[in-house]
A and B are shown apart, each in its own frame.
Chain A
């Protein structure tokens, strides 16, 4: 099939950017979307032009590296998939497909379709963990965890940190991402111990990064490749509310936010 890619090109954050059209003649339905980008790049290099920069690694929907708006939607039009799992079957002969980077103040652009998502890492660094050192842990079966709780925790833990939720949210809010981590740990006895300090730390870190706030518009869950439910956001709000009412414990050494 024939398609045209309209791709955002921008040398770096400070340089001006623009869309450039790349018509492609021989695209097979079995190709993944990133393989089409590969082909565009092969051609560009052969023509001695700079290839399109885009982030990708595993190409099977699990590492969360690939990140782009395809045809107006984060990770492309298919449900529950990443950009790298989007196949050309999804498109029609003759389509014009716009490709843009994630756009958010907290995700500064690096080049073309590549953005810096380290803000998400910093939120985890502020508290997205259980405070245990290596060694000295009790037997894994010492604390039974009901299957239901374990399953909910796993639903939330499936987050791949891709940032599509931020990209799709009209407010550039990472609440789905944050709520997934908070939700996972709040459902496990191991995580419950620090649940309230954790949520305070993570929300404070989130607020520092220049994201917007959630107004419950649900685009995040619609594009989330792991189909994480926006209901986790409600749970996060509750945790945060309760944590605020309880206040921080007086000894401050427990938290990792430093």
Chain B
């Protein structure tokens, strides 16, 4: 299969303008004849659904939560990047573009990333117009903060609740269209399958989570904006409901899954306390602006913190990366924490933690200033751990946080299946092998507000495949498969719970395919995962009924998909023998332990194609060519 990225020709900075001009338009009067199914109402989905409805398309939107306002985007704390250069500190579209490409370890598509940097400024304008209360200076202008992986202050924020405020902005735009009747909203509805008719994505099958009814929806195009798959690791900073189901089903219907092994581990999370734990809590990376990361120099140092003198503390990020210091990118900070803990220097119960110390900042700025900046984070930390971080350093440890991989899309954000568009974290597009902080929010909104409204019209204008009726055999087939699967779940009546399988899978993933990966471990994982899956289908107990509100059934469906997807993730990690970004292959490192990229052999997007139940998936490659930037070793020293 030839993967055509459809990026326009010409100089990088003019590609998007050229594309916008070349894209075919749909006559305003005709727009209402096209129906778009938007699955997911996070930043990407809500902004897309609202914008498309404003243009006049008929839109149906779906989410599994009880309200579109609760999508996982709500949890983002730190901020959103934009190349506004309001601080006069040398920012520009070019620089944001370069930072993002470099941050992604030269594994992202140049044209997409440039466009992202270009529209970033419009996003801020849009959000402010919607009434998003970004932080401001006393003079009334917008405030910025700096974030990992950048040397300029370009991050806009709303206290520690930036994702919430941006999502509520998109939600309000969406609500406005729902109120007008232009969007039909289906909350508490889970997409269980994609319907492909004559090679085009033309519908979805959903389950009404309240009544359990399986329903068919036909459309002229399908947009998946269903978020990331971090929960394949069981413990992550993602919400409980985050899942891979939607994109996994699309994959099984022919869409390519790109770079699943690119996962991001966030350095500042609250460490695990015990087996009961259901999720890990992230604390915004912005804490690293004022906190200093350290571990004792002596392994197993059990002295109280105050008794460890400065000279016996290793501020390892400052030592190893003098120019970025505590603001080194996420993958680097995370890996350094792991190295410290592996060397026995870890602190806290189980030794899986490092200190994030605010003592200096408090001395320099005063406790009030720190409270003003991070009050809610300190409070959250205390709620969870019972410790006061104004008095003693926080303990942090990395946790799974974001997934750069996802369904393959071209410059139009369309997958290889015509009519299937994928936005936000669900696609693979803009972050390469590692995402910079405050860039996911930017990407989700860029996709939804400023890209899809242009590109989807081109699909409608150039492709005239008709919208099928929901009694089309493809719908019937998909529907009956789902009913069969549900019946199967409920009939197994085994001895183990769904979560026990999920957590078992998560352990394998974290151990063998987490921060550090090697061939031996990955092969073991490839061996173990199918066994877990097999046992799952023999021995899981799913209670309740099909046609009812049944959370056990919901969860079983999601875990079943993780059990298949995990294997693909590991397979991808195994095949990519280089280290890049969030993917660290222990075999591929420099003498000093830094990641070693292999541009000669791996400068491509790895996109996997489903080949059937027991067949090995096929790898397709989209070569990455850089016209503007020179690939260099990503150094933050």
A and B from one complex: yes
Q: Which residues of A contact B (CB under 8 A)?
A: 12, 28, 30-32, 34-35, 38-39, 42, 44-46, 48-51, 53, 55-65, 78, 80-81, 85, 87, 89, 110-111, 114, 116-118, 120-121, 124-135, 137-141, 143-147, 150, 153-154, 157-158, 160-161, 184-185, 188, 190-191, 256-258
B75, B131, B449: the one contacting A63 at CB < 8 Å is: B75
**In the complex the two chains form, is A57's CB within 8 Å of B65's CB?**
yes
B134, B276, B278, B453: the one contacting A28 at CB < 8 Å is: B276
**In the complex the two chains form, is A128's CB within 8 Å of B172's CB?**
yes
In the assembled complex, the Cα of A80 lies from the Cα of B65 at a distance in Å of 23
Chain A contacts of B1 at CB under 8 A? none
Chain B contacts of A120 at CB under 8 A? 67
Chain A contacts of B172 at CB under 8 A? 124, 128-130
| Closest A residue to B77 using CB positions | A62
Given A134-B450, A190-B130, also A56-B240 (CB < 8 A): yes
Q: List 17 A-B contacts (CB under 8 A).
A: A39-B276, A45-B543, A55-B66, A59-B279, A110-B549, A111-B548, A117-B66, A128-B172, A130-B129, A134-B50, A134-B51, A135-B122, A135-B449, A140-B127, A144-B141, A150-B135, A160-B164
Hey, what's the 0/1 contact readout for B125-140 against A, CB within 8 Å counting as 1?
A: 1111111111111111
**In the complex the two chains form, is A57's CB within 8 Å of B241's CB?**
yes
Hey, what's the 0/1 contact readout for B541-553 against A, CB within 8 Å counting as 1?
A: 1011000110110
**In the complex the two chains form, is B239's CB within 8 Å of A59's CB?**
yes
In the assembled complex, the Cα of A154 lies from the Cα of B162 at a distance in Å of 11
Chain A contacts of B241 at CB under 8 A? 57
Chain A contacts of B128 at CB under 8 A? 137, 140, 143, 190
**In the complex the two chains form, is A140's CB within 8 Å of B125's CB?**
yes
Chain B contacts of A258 at CB under 8 A? 179-181
Chain B contacts of A125 at CB under 8 A? 175-176, 178-179
Interface: B252 (CB within 8 A): no
**In the complex the two chains form, is B131's CB within 8 Å of A45's CB?**
no
In the complex, given contacts A45-B552, A135-B450, A185-B131, what are 7 additional A-B residue pairs having Cβ atoms less than 8 angstroms apart?
Answer: A49-B543, A65-B70, A129-B130, A130-B129, A137-B129, A143-B128, A144-B140
**In the complex the two chains form, is B543's CB within 8 Å of A51's CB?**
yes
In the assembled complex, the Cα of A192 lies from the Cα of B16 at a distance in Å of 35
A-B contact count (CB 8 A): 232
A34, A46, A85, A190: the one contacting B278 at CB < 8 Å is: A34
Interface: B165 (CB within 8 A): yes
**In the complex the two chains form, is B499's CB within 8 Å of A42's CB?**
yes
Chain A contacts of B112 at CB under 8 A? none
Question: Quick one: which of B273-303 are within 8 Å of A by CB?
Answer: 273-274, 276-279, 281-282
A60, A111, A157: the one contacting B133 at CB < 8 Å is: A157
Chain A contacts of B552 at CB under 8 A? 45, 50-51
- Of the candidates A89, A130, A185, the one having the most CB atoms from chain B within 10 angstroms of its own CB is A130
Interface: B158 (CB within 8 A): yes
Chain A contacts of B486 at CB under 8 A? none
Q: Which of B314-322, B350-358, B380-388, B461-469 contacts A (4 or more CB under 8 A)?
A: B380-388
Chain B contacts of A50 at CB under 8 A? 543-544, 552
Given A30-B273, A130-B131, also A58-B75 (CB < 8 A): yes
B70, B133, B135, B171: the one contacting A184 at CB < 8 Å is: B133
Given A58-B74, A129-B130, also A158-B239 (CB < 8 A): no
Interface: B72 (CB within 8 A): yes
**In the complex the two chains form, is A145's CB within 8 Å of B380's CB?**
no
CB distance from B27 to the nearest CB of A (A): 18
**In the complex the two chains form, is A118's CB within 8 Å of B180's CB?**
no
In the assembled complex, the Cα of A196 lies from the Cα of B140 at a distance in Å of 24
In the assembled complex, the Cα of A141 lies from the Cα of B131 at a distance in Å of 13
| Closest A residue to B349 using CB positions | A30
**In the complex the two chains form, is A137's CB within 8 Å of B126's CB?**
yes
**In the complex the two chains form, is B383's CB within 8 Å of A81's CB?**
yes
Chain B contacts of A135 at CB under 8 A? 122, 126, 449-450
**In the complex the two chains form, is A157's CB within 8 Å of B74's CB?**
no
Chain A contacts of B132 at CB under 8 A? 157
Chain B contacts of A131 at CB under 8 A? 176
Given A45-B541, A51-B552, A124-B172, also A35-B69 (CB < 8 A): no
Interface: B197 (CB within 8 A): no
Chain B contacts of A140 at CB under 8 A? 84, 124-125, 127-128, 134, 142
**In the complex the two chains form, is B179's CB within 8 Å of A126's CB?**
yes
**In the complex the two chains form, is B178's CB within 8 Å of A184's CB?**
no
- Of the candidates A126, A141, A185, A258, the one having the most CB atoms from chain B within 10 angstroms of its own CB is A141
Question: Quick one: which of B234-286 are within 8 Å of A by CB?
Answer: 239-241, 273-274, 276-279, 281-282
Hey, what's the 0/1 contact readout for B45-78 against A, CB within 8 Å counting as 1?
A: 0010011001000000000011111101011000
| Closest A residue to B187 using CB positions | A118
Interface: B497 (CB within 8 A): yes
**In the complex the two chains form, is B543's CB within 8 Å of A134's CB?**
no
Chain B contacts of A87 at CB under 8 A? 383-384, 386
**In the complex the two chains form, is B176's CB within 8 Å of A134's CB?**
no
Chain B contacts of A80 at CB under 8 A? 379
Chain A contacts of B138 at CB under 8 A? 146-147
Given A124-B175, A134-B453, A190-B130, also A154-B549 (CB < 8 A): no
**In the complex the two chains form, is A190's CB within 8 Å of B131's CB?**
yes
Interface: B86 (CB within 8 A): yes
CB distance from A123 to the nearest CB of B (A): 9
In the assembled complex, the Cα of A143 lies from the Cα of B124 at a distance in Å of 13
CB distance from B558 to the nearest CB of A (A): 13
| Closest A residue to B123 using CB positions | A140
Chain A contacts of B383 at CB under 8 A? 78, 81, 85, 87
**In the complex the two chains form, is A129's CB within 8 Å of B543's CB?**
no
| Closest B residue to A64 using CB positions | B70
| Closest A residue to B137 using CB positions | A147
Chain A contacts of B548 at CB under 8 A? 12, 111
CB distance from A199 to the nearest CB of B (A): 14
Interface: B18 (CB within 8 A): no
**In the complex the two chains form, is A138's CB within 8 Å of B380's CB?**
no
In the assembled complex, the Cα of A38 lies from the Cα of B275 at a distance in Å of 12
In the assembled complex, the Cα of A135 lies from the Cα of B446 at a distance in Å of 11
Interface: B495 (CB within 8 A): yes
**In the complex the two chains form, is B66's CB within 8 Å of A65's CB?**
yes
Chain A contacts of B173 at CB under 8 A? 129, 132, 134
Given A58-B74, A125-B176, also A63-B239 (CB < 8 A): yes
**In the complex the two chains form, is A134's CB within 8 Å of B449's CB?**
yes
Interface: B168 (CB within 8 A): yes
Chain A contacts of B130 at CB under 8 A? 129-130, 132, 190
**In the complex the two chains form, is A188's CB within 8 Å of B75's CB?**
no
Given A48-B543, A190-B128, also A63-B65 (CB < 8 A): yes
Question: Quick one: which of B138-192 are within 8 Å of A by CB?
Answer: 138-142, 158-159, 161, 164-165, 168, 171-173, 175-176, 178-181, 185, 187
Hey, what's the 0/1 contact readout for B203-221 against A, CB within 8 Å counting as 1?
A: 0000000100000000000
Given A132-B130, A134-B450, also A28-B384 (CB < 8 A): no
**In the complex the two chains form, is A58's CB within 8 Å of B449's CB?**
no
In the assembled complex, the Cα of A42 lies from the Cα of B173 at a distance in Å of 40
CB distance from B216 to the nearest CB of A (A): 23
In the assembled complex, the Cα of A202 lies from the Cα of B476 at a distance in Å of 42
**In the complex the two chains form, is B497's CB within 8 Å of A45's CB?**
yes
In the assembled complex, the Cα of A60 lies from the Cα of B75 at a distance in Å of 8
Chain A contacts of B175 at CB under 8 A? 121, 124-125, 128-129
